[in-house]
């Protein structure tokens, strides 16, 4: 996989995490109250947008680039195609091909299906699901939300995620006020 400058942006976002790094620094510098809330909300929304744009870029550039690079680098591609064709005919002759296809379809359909349980829950929940992912106290919820928004192109759902993220900042500030 090739190096792209966009990876550096994700690293910077991780290092300057709004919850664990920037808010405590701003509090130590004397910023408090509504000023801290507005600054934190602004930077949290900017961070969310940067992550969203990263995942859109990743979907459009890195995934196709990596797939085409792997195919181009494979000197055994033609041998693999020939082996697969021979294996398919052999399995078909002995009646195992249909059994294997059924097994793989049943086993891996959840992972390859666009309508898997998590995506269906988020789609069914729509903006409410994104709002809840944005409010989630752990970074995983917002990360899942922004990945889904970026990969599936859910721009309208990003608004609900951003509102949840702002609510998240409000109670993170409350938590930091109790600590510091």
For every residue of 143-166, which 3-state class applies, written as one string? HHHHHHHHHHCCHHHHHHHHHHHH
Query: Rounded to an integer, what distance in angstroms lies between the CA atom of residue 62 and that of residue 52?
Result: 15
- The string of pLDDT tens digits covering residues 31-83 is 988 999 999 999 999 999 998 998 888 888 887 887 776 666 666 666 766 77
The stretch 127-139 carries a mean pLDDT of 86
What CA–CA distance (Å, rounded) separates 151 from 23?
A: 29
**What mean pLDDT, rounded, does the chain reach?**
80
pLDDT of amino acid 39: 93
For the segment 119-128, what is each residue's pLDDT rounded down to a tens digit?
Answer: 777 778 888 9
Label residue 145 by pLDDT band (50, 70, 90).
Answer: confident
The pLDDT value recorded for residue 164 is 93
For the chain, report the end-to-end CA distance as a whole number of angstroms: 43
Whether the pTM exceeds 0.75: the reply is no
What percent of the chain is modeled with pLDDT above 90?
20
CB 148 within 8 A of CB 156: no
Residue 159: per-residue pLDDT: 92
Chain-centre distance for alpha carbon 32: 32
Q: What are the Cα distances from residue 171, in Å, to 8, 108, 138, 143, 180? A: 29, 40, 12, 18, 14
């Amino acid at each position: 996989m090739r190096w792209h400058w966009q990876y550096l942006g994700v690293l910077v976002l991780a290092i300057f995490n709004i919850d664990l790094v920037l808010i405590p620094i701003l509090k130590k510098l004397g910023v408090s109250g509504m000023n801290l809330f507005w600054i934190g909300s602004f930077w949290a929304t900017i961070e969310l947008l940067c992550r969203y744009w990263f995942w859109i870029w990743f979907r459009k550039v890195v995934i196709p680039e990596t797939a085409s690079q792997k195919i181009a680098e494979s000197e055994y591609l033609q041998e693999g195609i020939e082996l697969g064709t021979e294996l398919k005919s052999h399995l078909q002759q002995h009646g195992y091909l249909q059994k294997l296809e059924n097994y793989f379809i049943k086993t891996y359909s959840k992972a390859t299906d666009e309508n898997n349980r998590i995506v269906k829950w988020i789609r069914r929940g729509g903006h409410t699901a994104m709002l809840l992912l944005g409010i989630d106290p752990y970074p995983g919820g917002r990360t899942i939300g922004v990945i889904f928004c970026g990969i599936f192109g859910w721009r309208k759902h990003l608004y609900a995620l951003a509102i949840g993220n702002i609510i998240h900042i409000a109670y993170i500030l409350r938590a930091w006020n109790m600590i510091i």
